[in-house]
Structure 1
Amino acid sequence: MHRGKGMKFVGDSRVTTHNRMPNKPKDYSEYPGKTEAFWPDFLLKEWMVGAVFLIGYLLLTVAHPSPLEGPADPTNASYIPLPDWYFLFMYQLLKYSYASGPYNVIGAIVIPGLAFGALALVPFLDTTPERRPSKRPLPTAFMLLAFCAMIYLTWESVANHNWEAAKAQGVITDKDLGLLPDITIDETSEGYEIYQAQASCIGCHGGDLAGVSGPMLLGNELTAEEVKEVISNGRGGMPAGAFQGTDEELEVLAEFIASLKEEK
């Protein structure tokens, strides 16, 4: 028997061939709006755009870090919190007459619910495969309306906010850093007892006179007459007539506060 004679070759489907077709995406030209494969072409482009924006945000956070304020104080009723920039449009919406006060539910729940509900229903209201905005008037109108409203409300919030007052109310004081003036308070004095009896004084300046919503009285540079003038007529955020007591008690209190000076 000669070599090769009588041998039969049977094809096996498990044996791979060398004439493979190249790995090319399907031709989507016959489908309107679909011109490329989702993986890897479209998804790779999305990842690249997302990476660019992520790097941009990281650079902004490094160049302009978030400002720090003093620790939160639940007893400070005069502090006005301000949300982050991406919620400023909601903050501004709640300032309008029919979205605040007795209508707060409308501004906080009803209007945002309608807006986000309309955006969520867009895929069901518009099922056309077109990508061009001119061919999709309904979703385009919804998105433009939402963007214009958010941009306008954000602009109004930034333009009308008192940024100087916001900066002052969140400033980090020596009290926050634990750097109080080295002043010994005579807690047996009549002036200290009068101060402790005034709820309005303690509410703003604290029981330790180190300040709460009002300034710290320890280490002040005022004279007794200046202290009396401030208590009687007010200054800045302090209203006039807050002191509840006699003229004699006012004199004693003014002398006591004026004496809270650090010895040099």
Structure 2
Amino acid sequence: MPRFDPHPERRPAVVTGASSGIGEATATALAMAGHPVALGARRVEKCEELAATIRAGGGEAFAHRLDVGDSDSVKAFAAAAEDALGPIEVVVSGAGDLAAERIHEVDSEAFLAQVQVHLVGAHRLVSAFARSMVARKRGDLVFISSDVVRVPRTRMGAYVAAKNGVEGMARAMQMELEGTGVRASIVRPGPTTTGMGMGWDAETTGEVLEDWVKWGVARHPYFLRPSDVAGAVAMVVGAPRGCHLSLIEVQPEAPLEES
């Protein structure tokens, strides 16, 4: 007799930050794996476009505006997602942005804004969905982190602090959720080609990259594609019950050396 009942056939998933980058790729990957997906982001029109694409391909998708920095927005999104798709089985917390500021130079309110999005926003999702998962004795909470937790990067101080907080929260949840049937997992990407940081001017970008080289965190020029990270999320969510992929770090492979 199996130790756990298998996953239900229908596993609705919520993906935040779904308007672009890792969130968009993750929503696509989960939809392709058969999950009905609820897409949330501030740029809801982009989520609507993605939802239409998923539906055109035979999947099930729902889009709704979401600002994880606003508690009321998260509550409204959660209610709308469950009304549209039913009880949520999977939550992927991936919303975020990135500013290039030195810690001693950044305004405290701007620092707080980063923490609000990455850390408090993730907790708002936990508050909205985790209790019903515990009641059903199953579910997946996936937190998109960053390898800045393992190796901090300069000019990203608020982001580094927030992602450390996300991983600390997730690890504590893994302990607290033990025996409930709910899995809290961390997916930790390395450098990834997304919209984050793409608005920096050339001078700032150059300074950031020089610092990365100085501190040995830019060994080669290759970046991950968002679909690489999405594949890791799909692997975590798709793991059979009784198997918990608690932390996956995804790094870009270096270009092949010439013989």
Same fold (TM over 0.5): no
- Report the TM range for the smaller structure's normalisation: under 0.3
The structure that is strand-richer by fraction is 2
The TM-score normalised by the length of structure 1 is: 0.19
TM-score between both structures, scaled by the size of structure 2: 0.19
Q: Return the structure number with greater relative CO, CA threshold 8 A, min gap 6.
A: 2
Structure with higher Rg: it is 1
- Looking at secondary structure, tell me which structure has more helix per residue: 1
